[in-house]
Structure 1
């Protein structure tokens, strides 16, 4: 067949190649990687695994390293609006042309070896990164860790963001089983960072077996409110390997793909303490990402770290993660909160955000009675627009949110993995009494579509209400273009 002519055609072609969407294992991947002579995408690699919080870690590390003057690439999945979001090269999404070139190289190298969509595109991302003059790469695991395609690369620092039950058919149905899979990204003698405050024993045992120095939040590093810190700033305390001072006159940022001199020459670990400015990300994720950066050997000093954090942290936002927006209705703006959460642990975080936002709205309304509503914060009712994949813990998810929600609008997504709105409603109606029926449509294929349900929620909403869009990446991706982002 003729080679695909553009990125859309390439992605469609790759989707058809492998009989299964998920196919865990590295043997087929290594065969193709060997033909590509793939070694490392950058001199220093940080790999992030975890149930929730991976995206936050990658965003913080990528921005922090670039603020420190390094050339950094990152790899994440899935994407929200465009595939290019997955591959960031020095802060910019990879171009269609660059991705197409990488995909064509992988296609030639696979020589008939069957690769899943994720495996194929991960190899393309690594090949593309290896051709850039990078100093460091931050890689997000797709699923689990031990058998994930990203684990083809040996990490200099491994990060575990959290360990909860999700994807049980692949990772196991206990936290210990999940921990063993995620600990598969550990490498003997290389440091690892854990942001889970109650890590399963299996994670600690695996680290001991591999002589992995494991840095745990609340034990080896902290990020706490401090009486002396201004505003909502926090104080981070942790351990660091300070980068050796370069020879006089040497350009610290001109590695051009080669290991930075002295970058990984460990000196005695130092105890550091820096101020962390207010930001929109969870403090535990911020603390863990800072600890990982400080173990990379790329952070010159406490003072340099503090300055970089002050410049970069407040500006970091993650699309689809507790993302605030407004939707227009007549002459008013309705507050919208978009969140890709799809498991109970993440739903609990979303519930806390709704509760906090509502309480802040009430305080502001008491302080400024009669002020014009601006779309946020809110004081009215919460209307959730929900669509979820069929393999998720639906009851566990909604149970974390139900005390904060007034009305549920359950919708469909045009994909096989999504549970039909009618099935999800039937499953949840024993738990939820406030599921809003879909508005009948002239066309039988519409009305329950998640976009229609968002429109219905918007039509029903009052000026002081909040619409929450959640349940999966795909749900948020469908609604994101319809909301005006803040």
Structure 2
């Protein structure tokens, strides 16, 4: 049998664009596959700009803590495509993935379709054929025209909306919120995370038209950090919870969305497990083993894939929660991102930024461009030929440093591959 990588390489060539937001091609292929999207376990559909993956991870941990099994679909992957598809809790096996991709390729018959569209169809096919209690779907981009928006969900979630992907979703917060709100369905409840007022107005307007009940942060539910833990409150009462395993004030908000979702789903008993057991790679992840960690010696090595101004603010806040150490950033970013806006909140936290390009990524900013953006944001910066070179340079000057590799999920994926 052909490997999944070989099939994925062919699928990448089926459409001239990586992103082309329409649903026609997805509906055509799902029709050819006998509509697996209509045979899924109950779906929880998650859109938003920041926090989708972490919120999904906490909902999954909570449902599994309550004794349920979950499918999960996330993107992008970091090291291997298989990370995108979990079947009843386990990453999809290579033989199963290759078989599904080949089936979708044959059913598509060579017609134009994007990589994300056809692989989403493969995931839905896998979920329809494998028993589980729930299906968790993370939107790839936007919501209204995203390839995942072909399902009849039991619950939707909209995490905080901010400026990102303006070339595809619109140049105002209202336009972007309108795209995210495209996952709302008639009569289906939606958990709404903390929102800019303008974004919330758009979400509320669409929900009213669809008669979709909203559970809104700050109105219907609240979450606060108290005495080292979390307190969640909604109309049914208070819950005292352990702190989220994931680091940062923004993770408390994500935890609140997860607990609100568990309440609506009737699985509130899983809330403590949602806090304790959730893991999400490259979100303030401390690396503990591997060649890069060995090379760093006594220095700490952290990894984060956030890449927009809101993520930069969240990351800066999360860093204040760690014991003080000199902080050195190793940063690589895509040329489609607001690099200066991302770096600006970090300028007050970091001693120096070491700019790198992202290996094998055609849309990377060059190290020189990243250095220039950092300096414009008020961050002292220099260029390095690689992450390993930057680590060696940092530890030669400051052996006790805290090293944070950041700026892109694509860079984070390369680092995880390199670090084994």
TM-score (norm 1): 0.80
1:91–1:353 Cα change, 3 Å: same
Q: In structure 2, how many angstroms separate the alpha carbons of the residues matched to 1:119 and 1:331?
A: 40
Q: Which residue of 1 aligns with 2:318?
A: 353
Q: Deviations over 1:347-377 (max 9, x none)?
A: 11111111221xxx2xxxxxxxxxxxxxxxx
Equivalent pairs, count: 409
Q: In structure 2, how many angstroms separate the alpha carbons of the residues matched to 1:76 and 1:278?
A: 24
Q: In structure 2, how many angstroms separate the alpha carbons of the residues matched to 1:331 and 1:273?
A: 44
Contact 1:53–1:161 (Cα < 8 Å) also in 2:
yes
Q: 1:195 aligns with which of 182, 189, 193?
A: 193
Q: In structure 1, how many angstroms separate the alpha carbons of the residues matched to 2:232 and 2:379?
A: 44
1:23 aligns with 2:10: no
Q: Which residue of 1 aligns with 2:331?
A: 386
Partner-residue secondary structure (3-state), 1:149 = coil
Contact 2:59–2:274 (Cα < 8 Å) also in 1:
no
Q: Deviations over 1:22-45 (max 9, x none)?
A: 111101110110111123352311
1:104–1:332 Cα change, 3 Å: closer
1:479 aligns with 2:415: yes
Q: 1:343 aligns with which of 291, 308, 314?
A: 308
1:333–1:421 Cα change, 3 Å: same
1:434–1:294 Cα change, 3 Å: same
Q: In structure 2, how many angstroms separate the alpha carbons of the residues matched to 1:347 and 1:285?
A: 16
Partner-residue secondary structure (3-state), 2:185 = coil
Q: CA deviation at 1:212?
A: 1.2
Q: Which residue of 1 aligns with 2:286?
A: 324
Contact 1:195–1:284 (Cα < 8 Å) also in 2:
yes
Q: Deviations over 1:205-235 (max 9, x none)?
A: 1111111111111110112245xxxx52222
1:407 aligns with 2:352: yes
Q: Which residue of 2 aligns with 1:425?
A: 371
Q: In structure 1, how many angstroms separate the alpha carbons of the residues matched to 2:69 and 2:375?
A: 51
Contact 1:321–1:340 (Cα < 8 Å) also in 2:
yes
**Correspondence list, 1:229-240, <5 A:** 231-238=227-234
Partner-residue secondary structure (3-state), 1:383 = strand
Q: Which residue of 1 aligns with 2:30?
A: 33
1:334 aligns with 2:288: no
Q: Which moved more, 1:111-120 or 1:182-191?
A: 111-120
1:197–1:182 Cα change, 3 Å: closer
Q: Deviations over 1:323-361 (max 9, x none)?
A: 11355567942112211010010111111111221xxx2
Q: In structure 2, how many angstroms separate the alpha carbons of the residues matched to 1:7 and 1:107?
A: 12
Q: Deviations over 1:415-452 (max 9, x none)?
A: 111111122323443334521243xxxxxxxxx23443
Contact 1:47–1:157 (Cα < 8 Å) also in 2:
yes
Q: CA deviation at 1:482?
A: 5.5
1:453 aligns with 2:390: yes
Partner-residue secondary structure (3-state), 1:150 = coil
Q: In structure 2, how many angstroms separate the alpha carbons of the residues matched to 1:354 and 1:85?
A: 27
Q: CA deviation at 1:114?
A: 1.2
Q: Which moved more, 1:29-38 or 1:280-289?
A: 280-289
Structure having the larger proportion of residues in helix: 2
Contact 1:197–1:218 (Cα < 8 Å) also in 2:
no
Structure 1 unmatched ranges of 5 or more: 240-270, 300-304, 362-378, 439-447
Partner-residue secondary structure (3-state), 2:260 = helix
1:275 aligns with 2:240: yes
Q: CA deviation at 1:293?
A: 2.4
Q: 2:271 aligns with which of 291, 298, 309?
A: 309
CA RMSD of aligned residues (A): 2.0
**Correspondence list, 1:14-413, <5 A:** 14-38=11-35, 39-40=37-38, 42-199=40-197, 200=199, 201-225=201-225, 231-238=227-234, 271-281=236-246, 282-296=251-265, 298-299=266-267, 305-306=268-269, 308-326=270-288, 328=293, 332-357=297-322, 361=323, 379-413=324-358
Larger-gyration structure (1/2):
1
Structure 2 unmatched ranges of 5 or more: none
Partner-residue secondary structure (3-state), 2:62 = helix
Contact 1:45–1:155 (Cα < 8 Å) also in 2:
yes
